[in-house]
Chain A
């Protein structure tokens, strides 16, 4: 008796889970390691820059939301490693998420001034804003933050989030390691 009454419930759970998994599978795909990083434009202050300008250099492209706690910690952690990253010739392009990820936070300038003072003038750092088209390609699932390690040839080496938790991988990439 117990077995027959629980079967419809189990079946319902399995069907709902399958539908959700199928829906999730259709979520917009992320760019993957090995793919070429699209050369798209973004706004930096009053200028419009294009990722194409960084071709031939190692790049950490990071899109983040200013309200995100792990993003603030990541900014602080990367700021501490700035001399090392500069010596290893890693270029950091740090962009505020389109519409700040859908939740109002402090401005990018305020966030950088508070958690990574002095970086605004660092020669290997570029700050800006990811416009809708840019975020649609590089952050299609609207994560609070996402970063890409891009090789000099323009291919993506790694896609991840929370640089503070993946500093080892970033430093290895900067030094010229495979991963």
Chain B
């Protein structure tokens, strides 16, 4: 309980200004809409749009909500840390984790069942024979059948970035004048 309190205080500090609440609201609307359009692209060979939207499942709606909710908290905290006056140096691991989590969550439905990975593997195979043959198909098959795992990893990376930012705010390392 005692360990959690500084994080709550940090969150209150970040979200106290009205502007932060507005950024959070806007972030949720935009990211939720983007994920709702993007996640079902896995069912249309990586083509987002109305045809993909028709294939939206309850599970994907839940993932879209989870990812958007985490980003809703992450974006204002990131802006708060950046605005502390010491710039991107404060972000540290949050930048890496946040970027990776966001990239993975966006790339997963777009890469599944498209030509991108086969071409990439064929290109790599020119240098590394391991990637020749069925290696590309095996990876793509794993990606297609374990999408939930990739979304879970994305969520963990984004949560890690959020935790890093809140810790920076809580310990005051970001906010020295």
* Chain A interfacial positions (CB closer than 8 Å to B): 20, 23-24, 26-28, 65, 67-73, 97, 99-105, 141-145, 161-162, 164-165, 167
Known: A65-B141, A103-B138. A27 touches B44 (CB 8 A): no
B134 in contact with A142 (CB, 8 Å): yes
* Chain B interfacial positions (CB closer than 8 Å to A): 42-47, 49, 51-52, 55, 112-115, 118-119, 121-123, 126-127, 133-138, 140-142, 144-145
The one of A70, A100, A103, A167 in contact with B43, judged by C-beta atoms closer than 8 angstroms, is A70
Q: A145 to B43, alpha carbons, bound, how many Å?
A: 12
Write the chain B residue with the least CB distance to A140.
Answer: B122
The one of A71, A102, A141, A167 in contact with B138, judged by C-beta atoms closer than 8 angstroms, is A102
* Interface of B: prevailing SS: helix
Write the chain A residue with the least CB distance to B135.
Answer: A102
Which residues in A have their C-beta under 8 angstroms from that of B43? 69-70, 72-73, 164
8 contacts between A and B (CB under 8 A): A65-B137, A69-B144, A101-B134, A103-B142, A144-B113, A144-B140, A161-B114, A162-B47
Which residues in A have their C-beta under 8 angstroms from that of B122? 24, 27-28, 141-142
Which residues in A have their C-beta under 8 angstroms from that of B127? 23
A142 in contact with B137 (CB, 8 Å): yes
Q: Give the distance to chain B from A58, nearest Cβ to Cβ, in Å.
A: 22
Query: Which 10 pairs of residues, A with B, have the shortest CB-CB distance?
Result: A103-B141, A102-B137, A162-B45, A102-B134, A165-B44, A101-B137, A23-B126, A70-B45, A73-B43, A144-B113
Q: A6 to B59, alpha carbons, bound, how many Å?
A: 45
A24 in contact with B45 (CB, 8 Å): no
A102 in contact with B141 (CB, 8 Å): yes
Write the chain B residue with the least CB distance to A27.
Answer: B122
The one of A20, A73, A104, A144 in contact with B44, judged by C-beta atoms closer than 8 angstroms, is A73
Which residues in A have their C-beta under 8 angstroms from that of B47? 162, 165
The one of B46, B114, B118, B140 in contact with A103, judged by C-beta atoms closer than 8 angstroms, is B140
Write the chain A residue with the least CB distance to B140.
Answer: A144
Q: A73 to B57, alpha carbons, bound, how many Å?
A: 12
A162 in contact with B44 (CB, 8 Å): yes
Known: A23-B127, A24-B119, A145-B45. A99 touches B134 (CB 8 A): yes
Q: Give the distance to chain B from A117, nearest Cβ to Cβ, in Å.
A: 19
Which residues in B have their C-beta under 8 angstroms from that of A102? 133-138, 140-141
Q: A144 to B141, alpha carbons, bound, how many Å?
A: 8
Write the chain B residue with the least CB distance to A66.
Answer: B141
Which residues in B have their C-beta under 8 angstroms from that of A72? 43
Write the chain B residue with the least CB distance to A105.
Answer: B141
- Known A-B contacts: A23-B126, A99-B137, A103-B137. Give 20 more (CB < 8 A): A23-B123, A27-B123, A68-B113, A69-B113, A70-B112, A73-B44, A101-B137, A102-B137, A102-B138, A102-B140, A103-B141, A141-B115, A141-B119, A144-B141, A144-B144, A145-B45, A161-B114, A161-B115, A164-B43, A165-B51
A143 in contact with B118 (CB, 8 Å): yes
Q: Give the distance to chain A from B171, nearest Cβ to Cβ, in Å.
A: 31
Q: A65 to B136, alpha carbons, bound, how many Å?
A: 13
